[in-house]
Amino acid sequence: MGLDFQVSRFLEKPKKEDVVFITDLSVNEKNQHGLNEFVNKGGKVQLIDHHKTALDFNDYSWANVQVEYDDGRLAAATSLFYEHLKEEGLITPTDVIEEFVELVRQYDTWEWDKNNNIQAKRLNDLFFLISIDDFEERMVERLKKNETFAFDEFEEKMLALEEGKIQRYVRKKKRELVQTFIEDYCVGIVHAESYHSELGNELGKDNPHLDYIAIVSVGGKRMSLRTIHDHIDVSEIAGEYGGGGHAKASGCSLTTEAYEYFVAEPFKIDPMKADAYRNQYNIKQSLHGCLYENRDEDQFFVFNTAANKWQVEWNGSLIEESFHTFQEAENYIKRNYSAWLVRDEVFVQFLMENAIEQKLLKFSDVREEELEPHLVSQYEDVSKEDQSYQH
């Protein structure tokens, strides 16, 4: 909206000698026509974007929207703009500038996480730690003078403090995550004002059974959508509420409809309980099995069979469906029953109770004629006193 306001003001009294650059954002339909008319009259405009939702702008001669490069790398507005400046001879390439641009590209496309490029994430953290003017001054001076990109001592100290703050914030928000179904998607919802990218990534990796994470800011009337899955396109979901972005990271306004789905209805739901994380016995993917519970006190025992399939036993009864992988089995119980991995002591108690039950069943299955006469007599006496013992 801010961009469209600025472009509209420019188009009221455009000057032919002006050069207009628009990067990382696209304009509304009215401004599209206005810019196109300005170009047709000899004006100079270059729109550069990398969002999938802006691909239609490639119909204009003055726009370049590219989601990824020929080699499979995802594009960023910074890398696309830098390449345009090089092609036009408007910037002199150096190693330090190339390094800086690549750090920005990797963070913006989230490739830093796959490549474990912590430097890229720290550069983004620094951007939000200091003012834009201070950041610009520091970076421009560094890119002019240095041969390689690095943080100074003061920035290193600030970043170390920020990393601790982010970890504490993410831990807190993990305890507030709510799970629900919206349309056909299993969604995790959390309210947060800061660190949306970090939250979306951590919550998504911790809860792979969720299709996407919705990070809601009621005060800002905005919502960010994040996913770790290749088969989910959150830009399409954001588009339903007038937003857009990337397949794995998008945003939109918190419309009245979105408010009902993502705020009003989920308000009634208790936050998810986290999996026990210090267990020694009840461990995920254990071939001997692992135990989950939910708020209804249902118990789910997940185990591997001789046929190398994963089965789920729900309150002692085997469900019909079997699974090729442990993750599929866990996704099933987490999506449908909001279950969590229980602590070791609960698991051990479960095993003890089942061991006793199995022994009782085995004892009750022994045919009477195979028992000694005096044992048959004792067994019958017990059965008369307490029929439940035999069962």
The confidence band for 2, taking pLDDT boundaries of 50, 70 and 90, is confident
Q: Which carries the bigger pLDDT value, residue 288 or residue 11?
A: 11
Q: Look-up: residue for tokens 């092609």?
A: 87
Sheet containing 340-341, strands listed edge to edge, beginning at the edge strand earlier in sequence? 317-318, 310-314, 299-304, 290-293, 340-341
Q: What is the mean pLDDT of the chain?
A: 90
Q: Is residue 301 scored above 70 in pLDDT?
A: yes
The confidence band for 333, taking pLDDT boundaries of 50, 70 and 90, is very high
Q: Is residue 368 scored above 60 in pLDDT?
A: no
- The reported pLDDT for the residue numbered 193 is 92
Question: Around Cβ 105, how many Cβ atoms within 10 Å?
Answer: 23
The confidence band for 374, taking pLDDT boundaries of 50, 70 and 90, is very low
The confidence band for 359, taking pLDDT boundaries of 50, 70 and 90, is low
Give start and end residues of each alpha helix (H) in the chain: 2-12, 29-40, 77-87, 95-108, 111-115, 118-129, 132-145, 153-174, 196-206, 234-239, 256-259, 326-337, 344-364, 373-385, 387-390
The confidence band for 387, taking pLDDT boundaries of 50, 70 and 90, is very low
Query: Percentage of residues in the chain with pLDDT exceeding 90?
Result: 81
- The reported pLDDT for the residue numbered 281 is 94
Backbone angles phi, psi at 316, to 5 degrees: 90, -10
Question: Around Cβ 100, how many Cβ atoms within 10 Å?
Answer: 20
Q: Is residue 84 scored above 70 in pLDDT?
A: yes
Q: Which carries the bigger pLDDT value, residue 322 or residue 363?
A: 322
Give the tens place of pLDDT for each residue, 117-171. Answer: 999 999 999 999 999 999 999 999 999 999 999 999 999 999 999 999 999 999 9
Please state the rounded mean pLDDT for residues 325-343: 96
Q: Domains plus CATH for the chain?
A: 1-93 (no CATH), 181-268 (3.10.310.30), 278-312+331-391 (no CATH)
- The reported pLDDT for the residue numbered 135 is 97
Give the tens place of pLDDT for each residue, 275-297. Answer: 998 999 999 999 889 999 999 99
